[in-house]
Amino acid sequence: MSDSAVDASRPEAVPASPAGLALDRLGDYLAAHRPELAAGPLRAHLIAGGKSNLTYLLRIGDREVVLRRPPLGHVLATAHDMAREFRVISALASTEVPVPGALLLCTDPEVIGAPFYLMERIPGEVFRTRAQTDPLGDERRRALAMAMMDTLAALHSVEPSSVGLSDFGRPEGYLARQVRRWAGQLDRSRSRPLPGIDELRDLLAATAPEGANAGRIVHGDYRLDNLLASADPVTVHAVLDWEMATLGDPLADLGLLLTYWDVLGGSETAAGNPVADGLGPRAGFPTGGELIDRYAGRGDVDVGPLHWHVALGCFKLAVICEGIHYRHTLGQTLGEGFDRIGEMVAPLVAHGLTAARER
């Protein structure tokens, strides 16, 4: 799960040099490489809400930009690729997909302790909780959900070669590789018994489809709270958190979105949980089926049955939640809302098994 936060409306109270961000070394690096970004004293706040990558609001004199870096401590291989995020938002800047402006990429971990990049701060709100979405009312909630699907359809309509991303991934065998990849991530995050998760992995591996839509740009973690949006009028200003983006089957994005929306968003387990509290029909939004209908009417992707893709979404999200739970037990998470993440793994596995067995 990536850190969905360029919204700086709720910065946490942190020291002048917050955990994970050495402002003195950052200032020296900017002065040497991008002096226009070092034209004033540096101040930073960790932006609340992120459950994976760390996102900071960085104030440079009177200017505000956003800095992203991998999480502290236990980091899953390939899951927090700053260069990947930077490349895809740079490439999509010329398309109809709204993204923040990319400013600077630093792959040297010696500067602040990990690779990082800077991007423009985009005004808007990350709709994450019932406290934010309940006041919208039915009409604006529906409009926001439909705008989310229109934006996803626009992303999947971009021809990768037209934006320099023809080599951004390997579409052939994408879905089978996804199963292997997340199985590997699971093995690196195990810290307790997880009944049923190995059975789910094996079912997915044995039934992985070829992927008739392979070769599209896939976000990898597309959901409402990975968007910066406004409600009056309803507008999507930016899609965030591209660390898992690649070339693959867009149905994987739909399956994961339905996992957030209908599985977690429809579960009592999600009540008050920072991952899914403000999402789905339980929070007054349209059903997942209505979202898929909207998407299908806006693009050229053959949607077809999504049971397998929902099962993959459940497996992937269960592994991500387990990785976050593991970091939390090691004291390597920053911010609030981590204590209940581990509770989500079991219902995700159960729903994934049900979906994987559907024909």
Q: What tokens does 180 get?
A: 């292997």
Beta bridge partners of 9: none
The band of 39, judged by pLDDT with boundaries at 50, 70 and 90, is: confident
The band of 8, judged by pLDDT with boundaries at 50, 70 and 90, is: very low
Q: What tokens does 304 get?
A: 């077809």
Closest CA to 4 of 179, 242, 323: 242
Q: Output the average pLDDT for the chain.
A: 87
In the chain, the amino acid numbered 67 is L
pLDDT at 51: 52
pLDDT at 10: 42
Q: From CA 233, how far away is CA 128, in angstroms rounded?
A: 18
Residue 345: which H helix or E strand, with range? helix 345-356
Q: For 53-74, what is the mean pLDDT?
A: 86
Burial class (CB in 10 A: 0-12, 13-18, 19+), 110: exposed
Break the chain down into helix, strand, coil percent, rounded to 5: 45, 15, 45
The band of 334, judged by pLDDT with boundaries at 50, 70 and 90, is: low
**Residue burial 284-315, b: 16+ Cβ < 10 Å; e: rest:** ebbbbeebbebbbebbebeeeebbbbbbbbbb
Reduced to 3 states, what is the DSSP secondary structure of residue 161? helix
Length, in residues, of the chain: 359
Closest CA to 152 of 324, 331, 296, 55: 296
Q: For 218-229, what is the mean pLDDT?
A: 95
In the chain, the amino acid numbered 273 is N
Q: What is the pLDDT of residues 341-350, one digit of tens each?
A: 888 899 999 9
Q: From CA 18, how far away is CA 56, in angstroms rounded?
A: 9
The band of 238, judged by pLDDT with boundaries at 50, 70 and 90, is: very high
Q: From CA 111, how far away is CA 100, in angstroms rounded?
A: 23
For residues 15 and 229, the model is more confident at 229
DSSP state of 234: E
Q: What tokens does 36 get?
A: 């226009």
285 φ/ψ angles, rounded to the nearest 5 degrees: -90, 165
Reduced to 3 states, what is the DSSP secondary structure of residue 172? coil
Q: What tokens does 297 get?
A: 């009417």
pLDDT at 77: 45
Q: Specify the pTM.
A: 0.88
